Structure 1
Amino acid sequence: MSFLEKSFEEAKELDRDDPLNFTRAEFHIPSKVDLASTHLVDKINKSQLSTDEDSIYLCGNSLGLQPKRTATRIIQHLNTWATQGVQGHFKPLEDSPLPTWLNADARAARMMAPIVGAEEAEVAVMQTLTANLHLLMSAFYKPDIRGRHKIILESKAFPSDHFAVETQLRHHGLSPETSMVLIQSPDSEDNVIPTSHILSVIEAHAQSTALLLLPGIQYYTGQLFDIPTITDFAHKHGIFVIWDLAHAAGNVPLSLHDWNVDAAAWCTYKYLNSGPGAIGGLFVHSRNSAVTKAITDEKPEEGYQNRLAGWWGNDKKTRFVMANKFHPVRGAAGFQLSNPSIIDITSVTASLEVFEMAGGIVPLRAKSLRLTAFLETLLQRDMPAEQRALFRVITPADPAQRGAQLSIRLRSGLLDTVMHVLEANGVILDERKPDVIRVAPAPLYNTFQDCVGFVKAFSAALEAACKEQSA
C-alpha cells in the first residue's frame, strides 16, 4: 500500500470521527461534472441524488460555497415580498423564520457578533468591505498636519486597502509620500512580518501617526497577526486602530471587544459563505459609538462621534418621522447609510444559521487546526522528495499564526501548468501571481479526504509541469 493509499484510509477514519462531519451536507459541493459543464446546471432544484463525484473545493478563502438553506431563505423572502409588498417592512408572519425587513439588520448583527467576539450593538451588517473602511476612516481619521497625520499599513496589503488609504489622504489634502507608512518584512522574501517588527515601526512613527490599518490575516501569506498585542501597543502610543478582517472573520476566533479594538470591517463572502460580492460587516467599539447626550436642534451633532450619516443609521423611533434631524442609533448601527439589501442579509444569515448548528467559531477553529495540520503533514510526508524541492509553504508553521490557508510558493515557471492540471482534475483553489497557490480547507464543508485528494492531484500537476518545462 502506497503512502497516499494509507493516507486515504487515515483520512476516512478522521472524517468518520469528526464531530462536525454533518455540516458538509449543509452545502452545495460542485461536482467534477458541474465544473466541466459549459451550461447552466440547476443544482439547487435537482430532485434526485447526484452520483457525480464531488470536486475538491479548497477556495473558501476567496469564495465560500453556497449553503443549501440559502435558496430556501431567499425564496421565503421573495414570497414575503410577493404577498405582502411594502407591509414586509413591518408585518411579522407567524410561520416565517424571517424577521421583518425593518429588523433584518439587527438580527444579522446579533448572529454575527459571536463570530467576531463583539457585543451585539458593536456590529452592523452593512455596505461592503472597502466602503466600510472608507466610512470608518471618514469618522475616525482626523489628521493634523503639524502633529498626527500618518496612516500605517502593511506594504503588501490587499490593493483596495492601499487605494482606500491613499484616497483618504488625498481627500484631506495630504500626500501618500509623506503621510503613508508601509510596514515591510525586514528579512523575509515571503513577506511574513514578525510582531516585533510591526511594533518597532509603530514606535518609530508614533508621534506623527493618527491611524493604523492592518489585515487580521494577510491574504497572500495567510499569516494571522497578533491582533491584541498590536492593538494594545498602538493604543499606548495614542493611535486609533482599524483591522481589515476579510480573511479572519469566520476563519479564526476573534475577541474584538475584549481586545479593545477600535473598529474593524470585513466581507462575508469568503469563510462566511454569503455569496459573491454580498454585504459586509462593520465593528465599532462601544466607547467609540456611544450617544451620550440628547440631540437638539441647537446642537445636532453633540453627544456622538461624527460620521457620514444616512437615514438607516437614524434611531428607529424617529427614522420614519422624516425630520431633517439625525438621531443615530446607539452603537455600530448608527453608522449605517441606506436600508440594506434584504436578499444579502437573508443570504448571510442563512450561512450564520449553519455556524450556530456547528456550535460557533470555537469548535470550527479546532477542526480547522486539525485539517490544516493534516494537509501540511501530507505535503511533507507523501510527496516524492524531488517534488518537495519544487515548492515550499510560506504560511507560518506555527498554527497560532495562521488560519485555514496554506500558501504554497512554486518554483518559477510552474504555476500556469499546475493550475491547469488541478482544475482539469476537479481541484479548485486560487493563485496569486507570479508563483503562489493558496489552499484553504474550510472546516464547515471540507474533509480530511479532500486534503489527500489535493495532494494526489498536486503531485500529478507538478509532474506535468516539470515535463512541460523540460520539453
Structure 2
Amino acid sequence: MKTLDLRSLSADELHAWALQQDAIDPLRKFRSQFFIPEQNGTPLTYFCGNSLGLQPKTARTAVEQELTTWQQHGVEGWFEGEKPWLSYHRYCQQALGQVVGALAEEVCPMNHLTVNLHLMLVSFYQPTPQRYKILTIAGDFPSDQYALETHLKFRGYDPAEALIEVAPREGEYTIRLEDLLEAIETHANDLALVCMSGLNYYTGQVFDMQTITAKAHSLGINVGFDLAHAAGNIPMQLHDWGVDFAVWCSYKYLNSGPGGVSGVFVHQKHHSSNLVRLAGWWGYEENRRFEMTKGFVPMEGAAGWQLSTPNIMALAVHRASLAIFEEATMPLIRQKSEALTGLLAEIIRRLNESGTKIEVMTPTDPSQRGSQLSLLIEGKGKAVFDYLVENGVIGDWREPNCIRLTPAPLYNTFEEVWRTGEMLRAVI
C-alpha cells in the first residue's frame, strides 16, 4: 500500500484506488478466516470490532478439540492430550508478546480486564503519606474510573482530592500530550501512580505511552495502561518503553469471543521484586502447585499473578485468534489500518466540503489514532446511525451523539469503506 495523497484523486479515482488496494492487500486472505454476519443473506459491513471482534472460523475447532480432550481424558486432560491444560497459558504467551511488544514471560492471558486492573493496582499502587495520588485522564472508561476510585477509598483517600484527572482543553475533544506531561510534573511530589488508557475508547485517541512512561519514571512514578482498545489495534513496545504494567481484554480487536479472557503485562524488571500482590493457587509455582502447602511462592513472570483455575475453552478461542495475528503480523495490520481510516477520513472531508457537517473527534494524525473514527453529526447522529444499520453497516453508538466506525484490517475492505461513504452521502 503506497503512500498517496488521496486529496489529489477525483471521486472516480478514489473509488478505483480503493478497489486496487483490496486487490493488492497482503492481508486479504484473512477476511475468509472470519464469519461475517449477514442480513437477509447479504454480508454486513461490520465496523464494530472496537466493541466485539468477529469470530475466527478456527474458534469452533479449537473449542471442540478441548471438548474432545475432556471427553477422552476427563481430569487427566490437565496432564494428557496434545496440549495439556496445566500449562495452557504458555501456548498463548509468544504470540501475545508479539502483539503488545513484550517478552513471552512478561505477558499472561488470565481473568477479566477489571479483575486484572485491581490486581495490578494492589501491586503497583503503593501510597505513602507524601505520595498517594493517582493521575489519569478525565472520562476514561467507567470500569477504570470505578477501579481507581475504590482503590483510593480502600486506602482511606477521597477520590475527589486524590485522583488527578487531565481533561481536554476548552473546545477540544482530545488531550494534548504536553498537558499530560505538565500535569505529571506539577503533581510529581504527590503522585504514586499514573494509570490510564493507552487508547481512548470514546475519541479513538492514541496516547504517546513511551513519552508518558519516560516522564513519570524520571520522577520516580510507576505507570500502567489499560490497553482494551489498543491490543491488536496498534503496535506497541511495552518492554522497550519500560511500562510497569498493562491490562487488556481480548474480545475487541483480538477477536477472542464475548467476555473472552483478559491479559496482563508485568515488566521483567519487576519479576524478582517483592511486590505486594493478591494471590491464588494458579499463580503458585507450577511444579509445586499440587503440594498444597502454605506460603505463596509465585510463578516466574506475569503468570505469577494468576488466581484461579483458567477457563480452557476461552483460552482455546484466544489461542486460535492469536495464531492469526502471529501470521498476519502487527506491522502489516497497522499499515492497512492507517490506509483504511485514511480513506474514511478523506471521504468525510469531501462530504464536509460539499456542505455536510460531520465532526471527527479522532486526531487527524494517523500516529495518534487506531482503527476507529469517532464522528459527531449535530442533531441527526442517531438518525444517521440507524440508517447505516438499516442498510447493513454495523457501527457503534455512544451517547450523547457519537458514531464510532472501526474498519478492522483483518476482515474489512476498502470497498466497504467506500460504500459506507456513499451511504453517508445519501443520508446526509
TM-score, reference length from structure 1: 0.87
* 1:293-304 map, 5 Å: 304=274
Q: Does 1:29 align with 2:36?
A: yes
2:367 to 388, 392, 400: 400
In the alignment, what sits opposite 1:118? 102
Uncovered stretches (5+) of structure 2, i.e. residues with no partner: 1-9
Q: For residue 225 of structure 2, give the secondary structure of its aligned residue in structure 1.
A: strand
Q: How far off its partner does 1:5 sit? A: 5.7
Instruction: Check conservation: 1:383, 1:455, Cα contact below 8 A.
Output: no
In the alignment, what sits opposite 1:245? 227
Q: For residue 62 of structure 1, give the secondary structure of its aligned residue in structure 2.
A: coil
In the alignment, what sits opposite 2:326? 356
1:193 to 169, 175, 182: 175
Q: Deviations over 1:245-276 (max 9, x none)?
A: 01110001110000000000001111000011
Q: For residue 253 of structure 2, give the secondary structure of its aligned residue in structure 1.
A: coil
In the alignment, what sits opposite 1:42? none
Q: How far off its partner does 1:460 sit? A: 2.7
* 1:225-236 map, 5 Å: 225-236=207-218
In the alignment, what sits opposite 1:175? 158
Instruction: Check conservation: 1:383, 1:459, Cα contact below 8 A.
Output: no
In the alignment, what sits opposite 1:150? 133
Greater alpha carbon shift after TM alignment, 65-74 vs 282-291: 282-291
Q: Deviations over 1:15-62 (max 9, x none)?
A: 0011111110100011122xxxxxxxxxxxxxxxxxx32111111111
Q: For residue 43 of structure 2, give the secondary structure of its aligned residue in structure 1.
A: coil
Q: Does 1:65 align with 2:54?
A: yes
**Structure 1: which amino acid aligns with 2:163?**
M
**Structure 2: which amino acid aligns with 1:88?**
G
* 1:201-350 map, 5 Å: 201-290=183-272, 304-350=274-320
Instruction: Check conservation: 2:33, 2:57, Cα contact below 8 A.
Output: yes
CA distance in 2, matches of 1:391, 1:247: 23
TM-score, reference length from structure 2: 0.95
Taking every aligned residue pair, what percent have the same amino acid on both sides?
Answer: 43
CA distance in 2, matches of 1:454, 1:282: 36
In the alignment, what sits opposite 1:297? none
In the alignment, what sits opposite 1:461? 427
In the alignment, what sits opposite 1:9? 16
Q: Deviations over 1:367-389 (max 9, x none)?
A: 111111111112223567122xx
Q: Deviations over 1:266-314 (max 9, x none)?
A: 01111000011111010000111226xxxxxxxxxxxx32200000001
Change (3 A) 1:30 1:383: farther
**Structure 2: which amino acid aligns with 1:76?**
Q
In the alignment, what sits opposite 1:18? 25
Q: For residue 120 of structure 2, give the secondary structure of its aligned residue in structure 1.
A: helix
Q: CA RMSD in A?
A: 1.5
Instruction: Check conservation: 2:130, 2:189, Cα contact below 8 A.
Output: yes
In the alignment, what sits opposite 1:92? 81
Q: Does 1:78 align with 2:75?
A: no
In the alignment, what sits opposite 1:468? none
Q: For residue 324 of structure 2, give the secondary structure of its aligned residue in structure 1.
A: helix
Q: For residue 164 of structure 2, give the secondary structure of its aligned residue in structure 1.
A: strand
**Structure 2: which amino acid aligns with 1:361?**
M
2:401 to 428, 431, 435: 435
Q: Does 1:109 align with 2:93?
A: yes
